[in-house]
Structure 1
Amino acid sequence: MLKKLLKKLNKIPGSKLHEKLDNEEAVRRQVTALFGILSSIYGPDKLVLRAGKLDALSMMRSSDVALRVIALQRIVFENPTIEERPTPERIPEILNEVEEAIANFLARKTVEEDLEKRVNDRMQEKHEDYIKEIRTQLVKEQSGPENAQTLKKFAQLEKLETVKLAKSTYELVRPQQMDQIVGQEQAKRALLSKLGSPFPQHILIYGPPGVGKTTAARIALQEAAKLAATPFADDAPFIEVDGTTLRWDPRDITNPLLGSVHDPIYQGARRDFAETAIPEPKPGLVTDAHGGILFLDEIGELDPVLQNKLLKVLEDKRVRFESPYYDPDDQNVPKYIQKLFEEGAPADFILIGATTRDPSEINPALRSRCAEIYFEPLVPEQVEEIVAGAAERLQVNLESGVAKTISKYTIEGRKAVNLLSDAHGLAVYRTGATDAESVLIAEQDIEEVLRMNRLVPYVQDKEQSEARAEVGKIFGLGVAGFLGSTIEIEAVAFPATEAGKGRLRFNDTAGSMAKDSVFNAAAVLRRITGKDIQDFDVHVNVVGGGRIDGPSAGVAITLAIYSAMLGKPIPQDVAITGEISIQGKVKPVGGVFEKIFGARQAGMTTVLVPYDNRRDVPSNPEGVTVHLVKTIDEVLQLVFAEQVETIAAS
């Protein structure tokens, strides 16, 4: 309609800006047309009311063209003070102004009406969507979230819950009390004393795998919670996590250990948070362990950066969260999210880290904040005790010798239980027994399991080595992690074809430090024998090509060459460790405790260690005699003399 009025306005005679009014009749028609347009715009009644308010009604109805022009001005420009009677020359100009004002008004009103129409259409769409959403919500509330498909899946899950298999063997035989953990008496006391204190300490546990570190930590918390002085509650949490499998994002998008913040846009936060762009903090395992124990197995494998972040949490006892999306002034942020961002999540716990690594490989800052406890490798008698206890809890019978056989092939309690479990399954399959108490695990069962697992004995039969002596062969001692072992070193020596032009050969795979030990041995041998090693062709070999990382094989290499040059046999139940100096002194080395254990496992009865390592020797070394030596002269006397004077281990 407005567009038609605009077209009509352009067709009024003399309505164009530069068109000249030639006569009064043309002016009268133009004025009448303009009043007609105003009547179309406002309506006849509203036009009369408008003219009355502006004191232009009588003028509008007058037959005088000049008065009607004044009425047009008052109505269009809404100015009741216009009174000056226009001259005939002035009337065309006034009508052009009125015409332009009406045109602008019509154009503006057209745009406004179009915009209003769009707004109304959009509001109608939103209203329909809102009504649809309300209806959908009402349907859900009446029918619930379930449908035939979801109910079917729920029924399948319920059916799965009814199917139960027997517990794993390890669950059945796992110790439930501290006295059921075999060995580790000193370590268990240390663990309980550090957790049972009114001020419990963070702890690092060192030791080989399968000796009860995790189980001891779990039981220690249960025992400590019973004490009146301890801060642990009866239901204190024990959160266990493995450092080898723990993964995190350096951008802290994902951090299961310390916690992370879910981005409302990219990480699929809750719908209500995503729609309002509110980040949601997710507390991690350190908060789950609040008030209890966080047991971090294989802590030495944890990412170094994450270790440093963990240290900060240990200091603050709280985890802080940050996000560029968090607005503290946003009224839509829930209180718990606001509290997490402003105060952080509580993380007051005791850290117990376990590792099979050497202490020197652990973060020094972490070590300085923790008490350190060492779990020892298991000896055969302890492995036998573990096997017997496991068989009792499994309610099975063992043929004589089964436990002893298992103890020869492993020093891990977990591995021993697994071997027993394998043998148990084999015995059930072989006999077809249905009653657990009627199962007898025979020697043939465990022997078959050992063959299937391709295992070799850890412990040698002592009877084979006690009476034997060989020229140019001796056992040195090494250590890897927390496990000691013997290193077989052999040497041969032949007179050189020409005096002073002998050759000295040594396998390079053993390492440069071991080769240096050979040259030190040459100097020592000349002093104690008066013979020049250059008069001999000497070949020294480390059997198996093992690499020797330190100088601890120096004394053993010296003895092997000495035996080969002089033809003196060395008892093969003797093992030795120590660095040799060119002055013939036996210098201290590392890992003596583990080396003594390894010597015992290998069937040695006599072990020689440097005197300066006397504090590293066990107070009561079972199964071996330990001698402390200061010089190569003492070593030669102990190894080759008929009567050997034992030096007290203490």
Structure 2
Amino acid sequence: MDNDKKTEIPLLPLRGVVVYPAMVMHLDVGREKSVKALEQAMMDDHHILLATQSETSLDHPSKDDIYLTGTVAHIKQMVKLPNGTRRILVEGLKRAEVQSFENEDPYFSVTYEELEEEHGDGVEEQALMRMLIDDFHEFTKISKKLNQDTYNTVKDITEPGHLTDMVSSHLSLKIQHKQRILEIVYVPERLDYIMHLIKNEKEVLSMEKKLGQRVKRSMERTQREYYLREQLKAIQKELGERDGKTGEVAELKDQIDQANMPERIENVALKELDRYEKVPQTSAESSVIRNYIEWLVSIPWTKETTDNLDINRAERILNEDHYGLDKVKERVLEYLSVQKLTQSIKGPILCLVGPPGVGKTSLAKSIARAINRNFVRMSLGGVRDEAEIRGHRRTYVGAMPGRIIQGMKKAETINPVFLLDEIDKMASDFRGDPSSAMLEVLDPEQNHTYSDHFIEEPYDLSKVMFIATANNLATIPGPLLDRMEVISIAGYTEVEKLHISKEHLIQKQLKENGLTKGQLQIRDDAILKLIRMYTREAGVRNLERQFASLCRKAAKIIVSEKQKRVVITEKRLEDLLGKPRFRYGQAEKDHQTGAATGLAYTQAGGDTLSIEISLAKGKGKLTLTGKLGDVMKESAEAAFSYVRSRTEELNIDSDFYEKYDVHIHVPEGATPKDGPSAGITIATALVSALTNRPVRKEVGMTGEITLRGRVLPIGGLKEKSLSAHRAGLTTIIIPKENDKDLEDIPESVRDDLTFIKVNHLDQVLEHALLEEN
């Protein structure tokens, strides 16, 4: 080549490699621009300029990203690989410097000028060559990548420039250093620079060797400890101590690390673990400490589920699982709405109060499903020992945490729905008062630091959604009741029971008894008769048992008589279940004198109550029969006193109480009856008997009476109205103050009944009594 002439040549950018003169090596070329440069070089004289990129990560370098000093190389061979990549064999010829970029597209084309090596003093160069060869020899001894053969290929080189390039190609240097070696044309300077680099590499390798020896010693020590531990395990196994404590301690340590405890609790656990490691295996204290640590790591401290705050989804789930119960559902949806807005509300404490079988427990499960929380149930029925709630001290044999902490372990999260079932069934005796222990659990201001006697460390219950159930509020202590939001579930009406039967109970029993909807059909009139005359309850538990009985009988008919379908009507019900077990009150067929129809509320729902008055000559004796409670007796006496005080206005003999004995009777004497709401019914029946004015047959009434004749409000109007509707009454007299309760009554019932709202007994008599016969 002509040194004085600038020559144009294709340029191939290299990534992560520097090619020196006299080097022969393989290169893989895949980039489109590089492939075109190769193709052009092959068409010319097989010469190409190899220059290295300053940044290896660039896929499409510009001219500013390429070093200007490179090597002119001869392409000795080119092979096209199956994946489209070209593999070339190149031989470096001369150093060269790019003078200008002629083209960048479709490939780099440059003009260059060859760089001639500059030599110094011959003796100096020889001395530097010997020093470099010696340094390289020492380097090959400590390097794992180079060996004696590498040294042998280098030591016989006599040309100093070639020597520097050959040594440099064998060293693992940074691209910047290799490029610098390529750029230095003054040979003594290049020799000195490479020796400096080798010295640095030797120091790095020496440090690596020291570190490696240190790691090796550490590994040897670890292996020795492992060997000794294995020996210790074998000795302990021979002594009957199984695997000993070593493995247990390591296992417990891992469990503590994974439990995500608060730092304070983790320190307590690690301290107890240290004690456990030092206490002999046979010691009684060893099992106590281990039990304590296992409880600490098994209780959730930070793990919680994410609430699903989709109100529409929650409402849909609650409606799927339960018909009615609007107040409870509304309260849950309110909680979710506030939670969605604040993201910080404490868990509410609800108390569902109602008779057995109305779905209190299953409703709590539905709430947990609706808000995507874990569910845990704890039955408090018959709990008398305070330690059942708070746990025992660890000093006692067999000590364990209380039921609250046990429940949290089962829940596995710190924010479950926690059901406290039958909270009204707790009792107290010499072992303590568990209801008082529940005060801390159910107080939102205290339960974030709940203290269990066994755990001894504060535990956060503030994110738990507590739901309590009870049959009777009267047996729940006042302070405990004060901490809960009471939601009353009075029971289901006939209409609600009909819906529940069709949508839930029958489908469930069909599935449990292996039947399909096509095999068994129960008509609506049969369901109503079943509700009215075969069950008497506020809930649906016994009703479900009756459906189960019908399904079993239908299954027998299908199997034995080979019928494909069984249809149960009102008439067929008696054939399958026998005679009705109950009767329900019905309206009188004629107007009655001395008898009035009252409306009663029982645990089984609403019912009609006939109150009869009998007058006999005597001396004013008042007799009450029908197994009446104290409150009802007092209502009867109040009504009697009111009638005596109003004889003139009511056109009654003023001395009737001296001439007649009055007998007040409420039929079905075996059934206990109590409550103030029969006051106006008794007074109306008494006035009817004394004035000989009949009571209208279509009228039912409910209300408490005072000595002045005022009518006071009562409870259970919804259930009483439904019983009146069922019995065939068309008019109901109610206290005026109960006007607000009318909206709870189903619209279909409300449309069929006439409600008369009264403040005084005079208004009751005006609407209930006919004129004298």
Structure 1 residues 194 and 449, CA gap change in structure 2 (3 angstroms): farther
Q: Equivalent residue for 2:684?
A: 559
CA-to-aligned-CA distance 1:197-247 (integer Å, 9 cap, x gap) = 31242111123332332222222222223xxxxxxxxxx3211233325x3
By how many angstroms is 1:419 displaced?
1.0
Structure 1 residues 470 and 221, CA gap change in structure 2 (3 angstroms): same
Q: Which of 666, 685, 703 is equivalent to 1:542?
A: 666
Q: Equivalent residue for 1:301?
A: 425
Is 1:188 the equivalent of 2:303?
no
Is 1:244 the equivalent of 2:381?
yes
By how many angstroms is 1:636 displaced?
1.4
What amino acid sits opposite 1:627 in the alignment? I
CA-to-aligned-CA distance 1:405-434 (integer Å, 9 cap, x gap) = 222244533322221111100111233169
By how many angstroms is 1:469 displaced?
2.0
Structure 1 residues 209 and 422, CA gap change in structure 2 (3 angstroms): same
Structure 1 residues 373 and 217, CA gap change in structure 2 (3 angstroms): same
Q: Equivalent residue for 2:45?
A: none
User: Does the CA contact (< 8 Å) of 2:700 and 2:732 recur in 1?
Assistant: yes
What amino acid sits opposite 2:378 in the alignment? V
Is 1:429 the equivalent of 2:556?
yes
Output the CA distance in 1 between the equivalents of 2:394 and 2:667: 57
User: Does the CA contact (< 8 Å) of 1:379 and 1:601 recur in 2?
Assistant: no
By how many angstroms is 1:584 displaced?
2.7
What amino acid sits opposite 1:370 in the alignment? M
By how many angstroms is 1:541 displaced?
1.6
Structure 2 unmatched runs, 5+: 1-233, 245-315, 340-344, 511-515
Is 1:493 the equivalent of 2:615?
yes
Equivalent residue pairs, number: 428
By how many angstroms is 1:594 displaced?
4.4
By how many angstroms is 1:574 displaced?
2.5
Structure 1 residues 178 and 435, CA gap change in structure 2 (3 angstroms): farther
Q: Equivalent residue for 2:707?
A: 582
Find the residue that maps to 1:519 and give its secondary structure: helix
Structure 1 unmatched runs, 5+: 1-129, 141-174, 226-235, 270-278, 324-339, 643-650
What amino acid sits opposite 1:369 in the alignment? R
Find the residue that maps to 2:650 and give its secondary structure: helix
User: Does the CA contact (< 8 Å) of 2:718 and 2:742 recur in 1?
Assistant: yes
Is 1:398 the equivalent of 2:550?
no
Output the CA distance in 1 between the equivalents of 2:712 and 2:522: 48
| 1:95-494 correspondence to structure 2 within 5 Å | 134=238, 136=240, 178-195=319-336, 197-198=338-339, 199=345, 200-225=347-372, 236-245=373-382, 247-250=383-386, 252=387, 255=388, 257-261=389-393, 263=395, 266-267=397-398, 283-286=405-408, 288-289=410-411, 290-303=414-427, 305-314=433-442, 315-322=446-453, 340-344=455-459, 348-357=463-472, 359-389=473-503, 390-392=505-507, 394=510, 395-396=516-517, 397-400=520-523, 401-409=525-533, 410=535, 411-432=538-559, 438=565, 440-441=567-568, 446-448=573-575, 450-451=577-578, 455-457=581-583, 459-460=584-585, 465=587, 467-481=589-603, 483-494=605-616
Judge which range, 362-371 or 215-224, deviates more: 362-371
CA-to-aligned-CA distance 1:615-639 (integer Å, 9 cap, x gap) = 3444545254322111122111211
User: Does the CA contact (< 8 Å) of 2:236 and 2:242 recur in 1?
Assistant: no
By how many angstroms is 1:295 displaced?
1.1
Q: Which of 611, 626, 630 is equivalent to 2:759?
A: 630
Find the residue that maps to 2:592 and give its secondary structure: strand
TM-score (norm 2): 0.49
Output the CA distance in 2 between the equivalents of 1:366 and 1:138: 50
User: Does the CA contact (< 8 Å) of 2:704 and 2:714 recur in 1?
Assistant: yes
Find the residue that maps to 2:690 and give its secondary structure: helix
By how many angstroms is 1:379 displaced?
2.0
Q: Which of 720, 730, 739 is equivalent to 1:605?
A: 730
CA-to-aligned-CA distance 1:522-562 (integer Å, 9 cap, x gap) = 32344322422234443222223355544432221111122
Q: Equivalent residue for 2:264?
A: none
By how many angstroms is 1:582 displaced?
3.4
User: Does the CA contact (< 8 Å) of 1:178 and 1:220 recur in 2?
Assistant: no
Structure 1 residues 139 and 640, CA gap change in structure 2 (3 angstroms): closer
What amino acid sits opposite 1:455 in the alignment? R
**What root-mean-square deviation, in Å, do the aligned CA atoms of Structure 1 and Structure 2 show?**
3.8
| 1:35-114 correspondence to structure 2 within 5 Å | none
CA-to-aligned-CA distance 1:296-342 (integer Å, 9 cap, x gap) = 2222222363222122123223442447xxxxxxxxxxxxxxxx334
Output the CA distance in 2 between the equivalents of 1:190 and 1:434: 51
Output the CA distance in 2 between the equivalents of 1:619 and 1:370: 24
User: Does the CA contact (< 8 Å) of 1:259 and 1:284 recur in 2?
Assistant: no
What amino acid sits opposite 2:484 in the alignment? C
Q: Equivalent residue for 2:643?
A: 521
Structure 1 residues 433 and 240, CA gap change in structure 2 (3 angstroms): farther
User: Does the CA contact (< 8 Å) of 2:595 and 2:695 recur in 1?
Assistant: yes
Output the CA distance in 2 between the equivalents of 1:491 and 1:515: 11
By how many angstroms is 1:442 displaced?
5.7
CA-to-aligned-CA distance 1:54-93 (integer Å, 9 cap, x gap) = xxxxxxxxxxxxxxxxxxxxxxxxxxxxxxxxxxxxxxxx
User: Does the CA contact (< 8 Å) of 2:626 and 2:665 recur in 1?
Assistant: no
TM-score (norm 1): 0.57
Find the residue that maps to 1:614 and give its secondary structure: helix
By how many angstroms is 1:591 displaced?
4.4
What amino acid sits opposite 1:373 in the alignment? I
Q: Equivalent residue for 2:695?
A: 570
